[in-house]
A and B are shown apart, each in its own frame.
Chain A
Amino acid sequence: EAGVVQSPRYKIIEKKQPVAFWCNPISGHNTLYWYRQNLGQGPELLIRYENEEAVDDSQLPKDRFSAERLKGVDSTLKIQPAELGDSAVYLCASSSWGRESNTDTQYFGPGTRLTVL
């Protein structure tokens, strides 16, 4: 079974430029998450989708960040314009009720490492 796919893996941009990240979740997973992980820290949730509906975007900086999941499958996260403090790893995860954990288990993609210069 293919895992969560993200692209690009690495992105270097200058501040004030726009940037977009793409995520394709595990097939059949209706729930999709975007996280930001700063160096030496745990992931922090930015937005959660149930199918195409954003059910929790309370931690998404809406002045510069936007996300969409139009058909309830793959998703894009955009930053416009990027700031120096946006340098981080952006992780996508998807979830389903897992037999191995008997709960809703999140599976993560490899992430996009963003560097803003």
Chain B
Amino acid sequence: GQNIDQPTEMTATEGAIVQINCTYQTSGFNGLFWYQQHAGEAPTFLSYNVLDGLEEKGRFSSFLSRSKGYSYLLLKELQMKDSASYLCAGISGGYNKLIFGAGTRLAVHP
């Protein structure tokens, strides 16, 4: 099977940095997405990694190590509005099927 694992919940303080980890089985995935989902809303695209290394986009960065089956999402200068679920998703197969993890609920406190 194809499993994606991420922590269920995390808390952090406004202005701080938080790293959300994601691990997956190394076979079968062609790339990795991160989505943000606020409660009751649609998932919104944050980042995509297909090669090893760090992709930086403003306050958010995403890292991928294909050999280790490991990714993380780094959020800097946390704001209250960053309180949301963060979904890690691997691309699998010829039709680029997305396999989602259960998501990490991040709570940002003042």
Q: Is there contact, CB below 8 Å, between A45 and B97?
A: yes
Chain A residues contacting B41 (CB-CB under 8 Å) are: 110
Q: Evaluate contact between B48 and A103: CB separation under 8 angstroms.
A: yes
**Of B33, B42, B50, which is within 8 A of A91 by CB?**
B42
Expressed in whole angstroms, the Cα–Cα distance for A98 and B33 within the complex equals 13
Q: A56-B95, A103-B48 are in contact. Are A41 and B42 (CB under 8 A)?
A: no
Taking a contact as CB atoms under 8 Å apart, the answer to whether B100 and A43 are in contact is: yes
A111 vs B43: C-alpha distance when bound (angstroms): 10
B42:A108 contact, CB within 8 angstroms: yes
- Tell me whether B48 and A48 are in contact (CB under 8 A): no
Partner of B43, one of A40, A48, A108: A108
- In the complex where A41-B103, A42-B89, A45-B98 touch, is A103 in contact with B42 (Cβ < 8 A)? no
Taking CB atoms and an 8 Å cut-off, the chain B residues in 1-57 that contact chain A are 4, 31, 33, 35, 40-45, 47-48, 50
**Does A65 count as interface, using CB distance less than 8 angstroms?**
no
Q: How far is the CA of A106 from the CA of B48 in the complex (A)?
A: 11
- Check A41 against B45 for contact (C-beta < 8 Å): no
Interface assignment of B102: CB less than 8 Å from any CB of chain A: yes
Tell me, rounded to whole Å, the shortest Cβ–Cβ distance linking A92 to chain B: 9
Report whether B44 and A108 are in contact in the complex, using a CB–CB cutoff of 8 Å: yes
Which A residues are CB-close (under 8 A) to B100?
Answer: 42-44
Check B101 against A104 for contact (C-beta < 8 Å). Answer: no
A107 at the interface (CB under 8 A from B): yes
Contacts of B44 in A (CB 8 A): 108
- The interface residues of chain A lying within 8 Å CB-to-CB of B95 are 48, 55-56
The residues of B with any CB-CB pair to A shorter than 8 Å are: 4, 31, 33, 35, 40-45, 47-48, 50, 87, 89, 91, 95-98, 100-103
Known pairs A43-B100, A55-B95, A109-B42. 13 more at Cβ < 8 A?
A40-B103, A42-B4, A42-B87, A42-B89, A43-B87, A56-B97, A103-B31, A103-B96, A105-B45, A105-B48, A108-B42, A111-B42, A113-B40
